[in-house]
Amino acid sequence: MKATPCFANYGINPEYDIIGHLIQRRQKEPEEMTQLPESLRNVMVGAQLREKEYYDLYRKPDLNLQSGDMVWLLPLNIRIIRPSKKLDYRKMGPLKILAKMGTRAY
């Protein structure tokens, strides 16, 4: 359902004539206006669900690791004293997870 903010709040769509005078159309009935916020809310919920579907297409699922699990760590953002990045380790570990701090932070 397409509705302007003015129509959603007041039930009227102001339009300008060629001369520039404000012409107001017939205001909607109260019964129609009580159904409008609910229908707009349903449209917004549908749009949010579509956005979530497209977002979830490219998101990897959570690994569900627990404290005590052993993992390998990629040292991309870790500073290590090596003469060159080329001579550095590709992976570090296996390391033990001490605690889960968030949904994806360990």
- Give residue-wise pLDDT tens across range 31-56: 667 777 888 889 899 999 999 999 98
Distance CA 12, CA 77 (A): 57
What is the number of residues in the chain? Answer: 106
Instruction: Please tell me which residue, 19 or 6, carries the higher pLDDT value.
Output: 6
In DSSP terms, 70 is beta-bridged to 96
Helix (H, G, I), strand (E, B) or coil at 4: coil
pLDDT at 26: 56
Q: How far is CA 8 from the centre of its chain?
A: 25
Residues with Cβ within 8 Å of residue 54, at least 6 apart in sequence: none
- Residue 18 vs residues 23, 24, 25: alpha-carbon distances, Å: 11, 14, 16
Express each pLDDT in 74-92 by its tens digit: 888 887 787 877 777 788 8
**Per-residue pLDDT, 15:** 65
Residue 45's pLDDT is: 94
